[in-house]
Structure 1
Amino acid sequence: MERLNLPFIAQRRNECKLTLQEMAEALGFRNASTYLKYEKGEYDFKANHLPVLAKKLRCNMLDLFIRMIC
């Protein structure tokens, strides 16, 4: 089972010096506060968001996930 690694996404955004607004616009959201709710886990990223996240964060899509051992 895998789940998104939200701390990695936030850390990588900061490392890439991307603003919340830049991420929001890349994903088609109107404002930064909406994106932040996704990054904090209040909303779930959708499958179509993942390629955009990987591209903006300059990482592999697999990097966005945490592998959980059951």
Structure 2
Amino acid sequence: MADKKHFNLSFIKNRREELSLTNQEMAEKLGYKNGSTYLKYENGTYLFKADTLPDLALALDCEIKDFFT
């Protein structure tokens, strides 16, 4: 039986900070209204939708698989 993968929000936050991207910049890259909306996704209040993951990976210069641990 395969191990279950979990979505790693801390990777997303750490990667964004490594790249010196603000919440507002991430919101613009993902088509969200403002930085506070993006922050709700990064904090886990809202869930990233599967169709957002390619854009998220592009914004963070990583692969989709990096979001899972």
Q: TM-score, normalised by structure 2?
A: 0.90
State the shift of 1:6 in Å: 0.2
TM-aligned CA deviation for residue 40 of structure 1: 0.2
In terms of fraction of residues, the more strand-rich structure is 1
Gaps of 5+ in 1: none
Question: Greater RCO between the two (CA within 8 Å, min separation 6)?
Answer: 1
Q: Is residue 47 of structure 2 the alignment partner of residue 44 of structure 1?
A: yes
Count of matched residue positions in the alignment of Structure 1 and Structure 2? 66
Query: 4+ residue stretches of structure 1 with deviation over 2 A?
Result: none
Indicate which of 7, 11, 15 corresponds to 2:14.
11
1:8-36 Cα deviation digits (max 9, x unpaired): 00000000111100111111111000000
CA-based RMSD: 0.8
The share of aligned pairs that are identical, in percent, is 56
TM-score scaled to structure 1, two decimals? 0.89
In 2, the alpha carbon distance for the partners of 1:54 and 1:20 equals 15
**Counterpart amino acid of residue 44 in structure 1:** L
Report the Cα distance in structure 2 between the residues aligned to 1:12 and 1:53, rounded to whole angstroms: 11
Matched, 1:63 2:46: no
